[in-house]
């Protein structure tokens, strides 16, 4: 789930919730009800005050659709998705299906389930929401990713095709769906989509590259290299294909071959730290310390917090007899490793 969650802030901005004012029918001398006051606060997006105002008169089991609606949306905006689900479930069960509140509740309930990882529950709600809001790309994306992760490849492809404005049975739709599957580490399903894309268009750019990337990741070196060469036959300026070729050779300790490919990657696109790090490592393994130092310093310019670059540079200095420089780089690498571990916790 991690690699594949939607940026929460984008979803919250994209809802575009519109509410209908409820005018009190009581005499002017009588104070407004808590519900009317909460509605006024809701229209001003003062969601935490809505929750405080209605907290004493509401529970997820009550049968007041308006209170449930106001609280459900407010809890969503406060990022408490579990409480949003509890209240919006009641709205969806009791509210008139033709009302604006019902549609908004279905939409937010679907997104809440998605963000909680309740993907099977999210799919039917998001499907309804996309019918009502066919141009809302955030909803379409959420539906597509939920379908990917519930192994509904055809539905996912239809969603992504709609979002990227291609036909659902086109090579492009299969390619895009595979890309999304790779993001959530469903490589075995991505391979199926990519092979179907290439059946439809053997010269489709990026398809061989993604297949090659999967093969290299899984240690199928020869297959991966063959697929990268096919990609380069279609797009000879594909810098990342050369990078992955260099990676495949480096993993096999074939440093000379790795250096040739990594140099081409850098010449085509000199602004990414990855090839510099691998090239620095390759030069280090060949004891070409000056070249290794230059590559690793360049990598650090692009990515100052890359622990691998600092660690390898420390090794270069160590082998060069520059002990103080080596200690400095190793200390930076250790600090970055420690900071990363704290974040993971």
Q: What are the tens digits of pLDDT across the range 295-337?
A: 999 999 999 999 999 999 999 999 999 999 999 999 999 999 8
What per-residue confidence (pLDDT) applies to 124?
97
What per-residue confidence (pLDDT) applies to 94?
80
What per-residue confidence (pLDDT) applies to 227?
98
Residue with token string 């299969």: 174
Residue with token string 């609606």: 69
What per-residue confidence (pLDDT) applies to 16?
43
Tens of pLDDT, residues 23-47: 334 444 455 677 888 898 899 989 9
Per CATH, the architecture of 1-18+32-133 is what?
A: Alpha Horseshoe (1.25)
What per-residue confidence (pLDDT) applies to 37?
87
What per-residue confidence (pLDDT) applies to 297?
97
| CA 195 to mean position of chain CA atoms | 23
Residue boundaries of the structural domains of the chain: 1-18+32-133, 272-345
What per-residue confidence (pLDDT) applies to 335?
92
Write down the CATH number for the domain with range 272-345.
1.25.40.10
Q: Which residues contact 278 (CB under 8 A, 6 or more apart)?
A: 243, 246, 247, 250, 258, 262
Torsion of CA 146, 151, 153, 155, to 10 degrees: -50
Q: How many residues does this entry show for the chain?
A: 345
Positions in the chain short of pLDDT 70: 1-32, 56-62, 341-345
Q: Which residues contact 70 (CB under 8 A, 6 or more apart)?
A: 35, 38, 39, 42, 50, 54
Fold match flag (1-18+32-133 vs 272-345)? yes
In angstroms, the CA 106 to CA 108 distance is 6
In angstroms, the CA 112 to CA 79 distance is 9
What per-residue confidence (pLDDT) applies to 64?
81
What per-residue confidence (pLDDT) applies to 31?
57
In angstroms, the CA 298 to CA 126 distance is 46
Residue with token string 């940026």: 7
Give percent of the chain above pLDDT 70: 87
Secondary structure letter of residue 178 according to DSSP: H
What per-residue confidence (pLDDT) applies to 186?
96
Provide the token pair at 131. Answer: 């019918």
What per-residue confidence (pLDDT) applies to 61?
64
Q: What is the model's pTM?
A: 0.81
């Amino acid at each position: 789930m991690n690699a594949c969650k939607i940026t929460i802030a984008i979803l919250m901005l994209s809802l575009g919730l519109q509410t209908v004012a409820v005018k009190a029918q009581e005499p002017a001398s009588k104070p407004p009800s808590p519900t009317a006051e909460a509605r006024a606060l809701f229209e001003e997006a003062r969601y935490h005050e809505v929750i405080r105002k209605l907290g004493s008169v509401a529970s997820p089991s009550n049968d007041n659709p308006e209170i449930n609606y106001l609280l459900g949306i407010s809890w969503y905006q406060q990022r408490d998705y579990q409480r949003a689900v509890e209240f919006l479930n009641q709205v969806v069960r009791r509210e008139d299906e033709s009302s604006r509140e019902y549609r908004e509740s279905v939409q937010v309930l679907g997104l809440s389930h998605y963000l909680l990882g309740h993907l099977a529950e999210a799919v039917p709600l998001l499907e309804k929401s996309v019918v009502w809001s066919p141009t809302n790309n955030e909803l379409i994306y959420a539906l597509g990713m939920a379908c990917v992760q519930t192994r509904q490849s055809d539905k996912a492809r239809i969603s992504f095709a709609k979002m990227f404005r291609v036909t659902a049975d086109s090579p492009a739709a299969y390619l895009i769906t595979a890309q999304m599957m790779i993001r959530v580490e469903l490589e075995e399903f991505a391979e199926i989509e990519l092979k179907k894309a290439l059946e439809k268009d053997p010269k489709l750019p990026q398809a061989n590259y993604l297949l090659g990337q999967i093969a290299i990741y899984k240690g199928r070196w020869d297959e991966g290299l063959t697929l990268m060469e096919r990609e380069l036959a279609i797009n000879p300026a594909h810098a990342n294909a050369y990078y992955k070729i260099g990676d495949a050779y480096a993993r096999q300790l074939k440093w000379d071959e790795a250096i040739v490919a990594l140099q081409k990657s850098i010449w085509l696109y000199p602004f990414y730290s990855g090839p510099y790090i691998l090239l620095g490592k390759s030069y280090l393994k060949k004891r070409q310390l000056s070249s290794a130092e230059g590559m690793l310093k360049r990598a650090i310019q692009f990515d100052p917090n890359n622990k691998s670059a600092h660690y390898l540079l420390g090794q270069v200095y160590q082998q060069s007899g520059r002990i103080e420089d080596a200690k400095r780089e190793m200390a930076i690498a250790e600090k970055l490793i420690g900071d990363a571990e704290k974040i993971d916790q």
